[in-house]
Amino acid sequence: MRTWAAALDRTRRRECLIASVVATGAVIALLVAAIPSVASGYSATIRRTEGGIPHISAPNYGGIGYGYGYAFAQDNICVMADDYITVDAERSKFFGPNGSYEQRGNGVTANNLNSDFFFQQIIDSHVIDELLAKEPPLGPAQEVRELVAGYVAGYNRYLSDVGGTNGVPDSSCRGEPWVRPITAADAYRRFYQLTELASADVVINGIAEAAPPVGPFQAPLEPQAIAQGLSTRLPIKGAGSNAVAVGAAGTADKHHGLLHGNPHFTMGVPERFDQADITISV
């Protein structure tokens, strides 16, 4: 379980960057001066640059999570609400059992019903609960717990401020019942999903559709043959770390260049990198 602790620690650092982005229209220099929360006790200040990048300051980790959750929901509410439905094993309920979704980070298209089976067995196993019950380094550090609690409060505060799903500015999910407040359990399930992006998430369909072999017994393959077979069958050819830079002449407005990091994480998926500046001001 050491890999879980390491991944969760990395997630703490990456959660300020990792995300999907849905365009929200015009950008203003100062979007939110302050978002205090009497109910939760969190407070944060969010300022945005002309390019839309949020600069978040707060007195502690909980406040940082709160401010980031608010700004993150402003930019990404639709695609992340969709992903929380995924990790809650409810895709069939809202999108139908025969539908599917593409995991751009690993190149796999998962059937909704198979996905629900996969994530429900994770929920039923209580593996995440057991990890959360452990002390660091096997479990999350206190700072991670504070960040997550603040993030959930900030995400939900934004959804409340716009009047719930019917007030979401993005028409791609406005009014949809699957756009709803989240819990800390949702956030940790998302973390767990990320740790398995290039492992179990790759074989969601295979796990859900697994069946006993039919026909005569076959001797187990040698390790070398297994490795060779996996290298040719696992659909992770699209994964890799890279970047594409385009000069002003190649962009739509002809005035600004564009740098797209990790372009195998495309614009409309939860794994796309999302920039934010964070400062804890004591």
Long-range pairs of 38-47 with CB within 8 A, sequence gap ≥ 24: 40/66, 40/150, 40/153, 40/157, 42/66, 42/150, 42/153, 42/154, 44/68, 44/70, 44/154, 46/70, 46/71
CA nearest to 56, candidates 142, 140, 154: 154
Long-range pairs of 240-243 with CB within 8 A, sequence gap ≥ 24: 240/264
Write down the catalytic residue from 37, 57, 199, 241: 241
For 21, 99, 189, 200, 280, the CA distances from 131, given in Å and listed in that order, are 29, 32, 11, 18, 27
C-alpha angle 141-275-246 in degrees, rounded to nearest 5: 145
Q: According to DSSP H, which parts of the chain are helical?
A: 2-14, 61-87, 91-95, 112-125, 127-132, 142-161, 184-195, 204-208, 223-233
C-alpha angle 8-13-19 in degrees, rounded to nearest 5: 90
Active site residue 57: no
Strand 277-280 with 100-103, pairing: unpaired
Report d(CA 73, CA 81) in Å as an integer.
Answer: 9
Q: Which residues contact 132 (CB under 8 A, 6 or more apart)?
A: 139, 140, 188
Catalytic residue numbers? 241
